[in-house]
Structure 1
Amino acid sequence: MTPPQAHHEWWRGAVIYQIYPRSFADTSGDGIGDLKGITAHLDHVASLGVDAVWISPFYPSPMKDFGYDVADYCGVDPVFGTLADFDALLAKAHGLGLRVIVDQVWSHTSDQHPWFQASRQDRTGPHADWYVWADARADGSPPNNWQSVFGGPGWTWDARRGQYYQHNFLPEQPQLNGRHPAVQDALLAAAEFWLDRGVDGFRLDAVNFMIGDPGLRDNPPLPPGGRRTRPFDFQDKVHNQSSPDILPFLERVRALTERYDGDRFTVAEIPGDHAAREMKAFTAEGRLNSAYGFLYLYADRLTADLVRTGAEMWPGEAGEGWPSWAFSNHDAPRVVSRWAEGRDERALAELLMLLLVCLRGDVFVYYGEELGLPQGEVPYDRLVDPEAIANWPQTLGRDGARTPMPWRAGGPFAGFSTVEPWLPIDARHPALAVDAQKVDPNSMLKATRRILGLRRACPALRIGDMTVLTTHPLLTITREGDGETLLAAFNLGHEAQDWTAPEGYVVVDSVNVTQAGILPPLGGVLLRRTGA
């Protein structure tokens, strides 16, 4: 059952808007979005009715992985602006009633970080053990079979130390030794730096990669089957991630955030084959507030059974943490392109927004999702994402989900910049620009504002329990809490279905429904029980 303190926690049931800063708005004229661009458009974000913004990394970085290779945890990369620009952003957001959450990338740094530069010099210095180093095998090969997410072995030889260093991602992203007390202290000091500036919480990037097996045991193979495009996909990653030794560190994180009036929010990104188990452990009492995985983000199709799976992962048992959900983000192809299956993308976008706000937990809305943006088309010669380049054309990669935000339909480069952007503007996106949708009463932008408003208007959506009633032919769910009972029905299929609301319910909202007694494909309805 929902705990009684839920009413007093701003983040429980919140709607959080993710901004990928390189692609949101460029004010400096270099084709790359920046902090001032975010600040200039916070009124738009606030108008959606969200509770908070999550800003992807803006720290100093060589940008090998576009900010997720951090070279300084306590600064702003010049391409994005200055610390003063960040402070101005924070002040503007707080003035609009928006909380601000920033990324913390604690499993690895850039190879240009001073910590790594010191660590690679020799095996005896003060930073010698701040990263995961190991000797070669007798034949000179890497210490074990661990593979990189981006392809190839998860080890790179370093002649300075005469050892291999581990990296779960790019070779330019060496793995921190997260079990080292000094490393933990340094990471918490970086977190404290941002908390002191006034941020309202952290999204912890791939935090289940933070500590691996100290014995560096080989990962076992996964059973045959499934889609495999990388050597990484062949292994059960039980030794290079998911260590129970991460849990005491998360308790230290929680203790730190509790010092700041108990109102700071922490949410973990948990990728991997064991995400359900890890999310529960990472959000158990005294650890993080919430966690999300890739149940929806990497799903090729949306099915009612998928929704049931998500609900069963978080049944609301005593002592359980709080879930978060996302349909789109910077690591996954945009959802209307993944799940359209030849159907109308505009209709699908509105249905998905209603479904998202009906899920129990916090929900993330990715920039452009409020416009119904499809996945951007990026030709091979414009790709910049290392994963996309390495695996082309077997994966869509991440560039198409990171193309610039269209602000003005008639402006140069859709109003994102005055020069050619770092990624191209998809030809379909200018027509979906914010200024065009603002004046269209039937736009996805207007629908988004209406639907997100339901989270504040309906307490049961924000903090209530969730039960999946049926999954075929329709998905029907209930949300109950704070004296309110809601019923939602969704037709996720391709054929119309007969459906009549039960007696004692009134319609709160509906999408794509034009005829009583019929729920068309991509139709959805939310009802409230009268007298409740």
Structure 2
Amino acid sequence: MQSTRLTRLLTTLVFCSISALAQTSASRLKDAAPHMPANKFATQNEWWKYSVFYEIYPRSYGDSNNDGTGDLNGITQHLDHLARLGVDAIWITPCFPSPQVDFGYDVSDYRNIDPQYGTLADFDRLVAEAKKRHIKVILDFVVNHSSDKHQWFMESAKSTTNPYREYYIWRDGKSEGQPPNNWTSTFGGPSWTFSETTKQWYYHYFYPQQPDLNWRNPKVESEMFEITRFWYQRGVYGFRLDAVDTMFEDPNLTDNPPLEGTDAYGMPLQEHIHDHSLSEVHAELQKLRKVADESSGRVLIGETWTKTAEELAEYYGPSNNELQMPMYFNFTKVDELDANEFRQKVAAIESNPVHGWPVYVLSNHDIRRYVDRYGTGDNKDQVAKLMSALYLTLRGSAIMYYGEEIGMENNDPKRVEDVKDVIGKKGWPKEIGRDGERSPMQWDSSVNAGFNQGATPWLSVDANYTTHNVASEMAEANSILNWYRHIIKLRRTHPAFYSGDYVVLDENNPNVMSYLRKSKREMALVVLNFSSQPQNIALDTTRIGASKGRVLAATSATAATIDLSRVSIEPYGVVIAEVQK
């Protein structure tokens, strides 16, 4: 622990100029205290293009009433941290009333707040306080399914003639005791559950407690549109649409083709072609977009699991009239630090003729934190700076996951008895679940990392909280947190990073990504070392158009001006320089 601490203290970040290099830690900390200035583009209708989004899992962010579970007031209490960080919008995962089978993704009332998180008044206060800090609020909208405890479903299940019956998908079985087809749930088991009351089966792509809504029913469509209007009127600036690619399924219930092997739950694998990514979803997204466009500056983000960038491009719509921000998850499919792999993923987006607005995803509440996927042992802090420099200097909107700005790691359960996530309970040990990436936010080195005042948290706090927490890292000039603040500030003040052209300088280097970000007024060089060895990179200055660069950020000490023809970079290092013409 002491050696790790010493290594971090000896590592020096280089910021914008020689004077920055000469600053003392104390003077840099003075700069760290105020809120980031408001994003000058934030008032534009397409504000989301220039923004940094921050995902908050409300159960785990801040527990204001010390009951072990995070809440809305716990988010409000920590808005100043987000303002200092430079966040433009927060995406809050579901906070609606729910039985919490899937921790909020089973909604029983779309127009209220779950009592464990607070009240509508608490929500309104959060929106108002966020607005004071130039932060917009985005909600997670579970469009594919509701809870089986939603009034719609409870009515639907009463009889085959109930007015709400067609709000969901009910079908007869193939034969007695057999479901309508072979579709399997992504959370294990068949996608169909039998009702003894009505002697029919209802469909659920996820848990049985999450019955799929029937979007082919105009009444369902109208209800869901009105729900979005309800929240828009309360000051919400948009929605992250959950599981949009499962909104429709083949009405003929055609069997999915089988694949070899079984999943973590022992079910035969199959190719989900009749219950996933059907074309009807695009017409529905266009309608949702029309509702969003009734108010100025509203944005739709989509959870879009696609295999290729070409498939992703379809979610923008034929005239950019569907999702403004379909998520690109292919970074999460890269299993190790491989410059070629990441370069190819970026190239797939940048070379696509649709050229929609990218949204790169590295981690979230369903995906292991990237420092654990790519980091090992003592290099995780370096990996945190490396990967943040990658996605924060690429064209597009940036979405962070809470805690990544301080290097939070997965806190995976060690025993099945400790698992809270049903995925882990059902699939252990092959599938350990998602608890690890959902552990409480680490605010300081006090009890429970400052998450609350001492009550047992719903998930345990990771052991690294004594060194990786907001308070400690604010007081350390070279911390991951202050690195994030600096890179976000660069992104905000240098438009080339979020909207400029992307020019690859070395197409085949397996260890290093080097690229230019170019706008009409400026050009910046980004060099990222994905290897455990120092690298000396020879660059073609004729392609750059200059031989000198002013260092904007670096993970180790270097001169304020560097020779662009040959850049030396330490293991997992970053150099970002403004090209001087």
Instruction: Give the TM-score category using the shorter length.
Output: over 0.9
What residue in structure 1 maps to residue 409 of structure 2? Answer: 374
What residue in structure 1 maps to residue 37 of structure 2? Answer: none
Q: Distance in 1 between matches of 2:476 and 2:549?
A: 31
What residue in structure 1 maps to residue 392 of structure 2? Answer: 357
Structure 1: which amino acid aligns with 2:350? P
What residue in structure 1 maps to residue 516 of structure 2? Answer: 478
Contact 1:298 1:332 in 2 (8 A): no
Q: Does residue 494 of the first structure (1) align with residue 532 of the second (2)?
A: yes
Deviation at 1:136, TM superposition (A): 0.9
What residue in structure 2 maps to residue 171 of structure 1? Answer: 208
Structure 2: which amino acid aligns with 1:312? A
Contact 1:279 1:291 in 2 (8 A): yes
SS in 2 for 1:300: coil
* Aligned pairs (5 A) from 1:109-124: 109-124=146-161
What residue in structure 2 maps to residue 271 of structure 1? Answer: 305
Deviation at 1:85, TM superposition (A): 0.2
Deviation at 1:513, TM superposition (A): 5.9
Q: Can you list the C-alpha shifts for 1:345-394, whole angstroms capped at 9, x where unaligned?
A: 11111111111101221111111100011111323222100112222222
Deviation at 1:343, TM superposition (A): 5.2
What residue in structure 1 maps to residue 379 of structure 2? Answer: 344
Pick the aligned partner of 1:54 from 86, 91, 116.
91
SS in 2 for 1:11: helix
User: What TM-score comes out, normalization by structure 2 length?
Assistant: 0.86
What residue in structure 1 maps to residue 248 of structure 2? Answer: 211
Q: Distance in 2 between matches of 1:384 and 1:59?
A: 19
Deviation at 1:465, TM superposition (A): 2.5
Deviation at 1:237, TM superposition (A): 1.1
Q: Distance in 2 between matches of 1:269 and 1:487?
A: 31
Q: Does residue 152 of the first structure (1) align with residue 152 of the second (2)?
A: no
Deviation at 1:139, TM superposition (A): 4.3
Deviation at 1:315, TM superposition (A): 2.3
Contact 1:59 1:77 in 2 (8 A): yes
Contact 1:270 1:278 in 2 (8 A): no
Deviation at 1:74, TM superposition (A): 0.7
Contact 1:460 1:480 in 2 (8 A): yes
What residue in structure 2 maps to residue 508 of structure 1? Answer: 552
Aligned length: 523
Structure 2 unmatched runs, 5+:
1-41, 542-546
What residue in structure 2 maps to residue 384 of structure 1? Answer: 420
What residue in structure 2 maps to residue 328 of structure 1? Answer: 363
* Aligned pairs (5 A) from 1:228-307: 229-230=264-265, 234-261=269-296, 263-271=297-305, 274=307, 276-284=309-317, 285-307=320-342
Q: Can you list the C-alpha shifts for 1:260-296, whole angstroms capped at 9, x where unaligned?
A: 02x1111101125x46444211112211101114212
Structure 1: which amino acid aligns with 2:554? S
Over aligned residues, Cα RMSD in angstroms? 2.2
Pick the aligned partner of 1:397 from 423, 433, 441.
433
Deviation at 1:159, TM superposition (A): 1.2
What residue in structure 2 maps to residue 463 of structure 1? Answer: 499
Contact 1:477 1:487 in 2 (8 A): yes
Q: Distance in 1 between matches of 2:504 and 2:156?
A: 52
Q: Distance in 2 between matches of 1:299 and 1:524?
A: 20
- Give the 3 Å change call, closer, same or farther, for CA 53–490 of structure 1 in structure 2: same
Deviation at 1:467, TM superposition (A): 3.3
Contact 2:444 2:465 in 1 (8 A): no
Contact 2:425 2:432 in 1 (8 A): no
SS in 2 for 1:518: strand
Between 1:176-185 and 1:312-321, the stretch displaced more is 312-321
Structure 1: which amino acid aligns with 2:135? L
Structure 2: which amino acid aligns with 1:144? N
Q: Distance in 2 between matches of 1:231 and 1:246?
A: 30
Q: Distance in 1 between matches of 2:266 and 2:491?
A: 42
Structure 1 unmatched runs, 5+:
none
Deviation at 1:460, TM superposition (A): 1.0
- Give the 3 Å change call, closer, same or farther, for CA 13–279 of structure 1 in structure 2: farther
Between 1:482-491 and 1:103-112, the stretch displaced more is 482-491
Contact 1:18 1:56 in 2 (8 A): yes
Deviation at 1:471, TM superposition (A): 4.2
Q: Distance in 2 between matches of 1:32 and 1:276?
A: 38
- Give the 3 Å change call, closer, same or farther, for CA 252–297 of structure 1 in structure 2: same
Contact 1:17 1:50 in 2 (8 A): yes
Q: Distance in 1 between matches of 2:181 and 2:557?
A: 56
Q: Distance in 1 between matches of 2:433 and 2:340?
A: 26
Q: Does residue 71 of the first structure (1) align with residue 93 of the second (2)?
A: no
SS in 2 for 1:352: helix
Q: Can you list the C-alpha shifts for 1:21-66, whole angstroms capped at 9, x where unaligned?
A: 0000001121000000000000001110121111111000000000
Structure 1: which amino acid aligns with 2:164? H
Deviation at 1:231, TM superposition (A): 6.0
Structure 1: which amino acid aligns with 2:409? P
Q: Distance in 1 between matches of 2:268 and 2:407?
A: 31
Q: Distance in 2 between matches of 1:361 and 1:416?
A: 32
- Give the 3 Å change call, closer, same or farther, for CA 494–221 of structure 1 in structure 2: farther
What residue in structure 2 maps to residue 406 of structure 1? Answer: 442
Contact 2:91 2:140 in 1 (8 A): yes
Between 1:54-63 and 1:125-134, the stretch displaced more is 125-134
Runs of 4+ in 1 over 6 A off after TM superposition: none
SS in 2 for 1:509: strand
What residue in structure 1 maps to residue 476 of structure 2? Answer: 440
Between 1:481-490 and 1:37-46, the stretch displaced more is 481-490
Structure 2: which amino acid aligns with 1:269? E
Q: Distance in 2 between matches of 1:433 and 1:45?
A: 14
SS in 2 for 1:314: helix
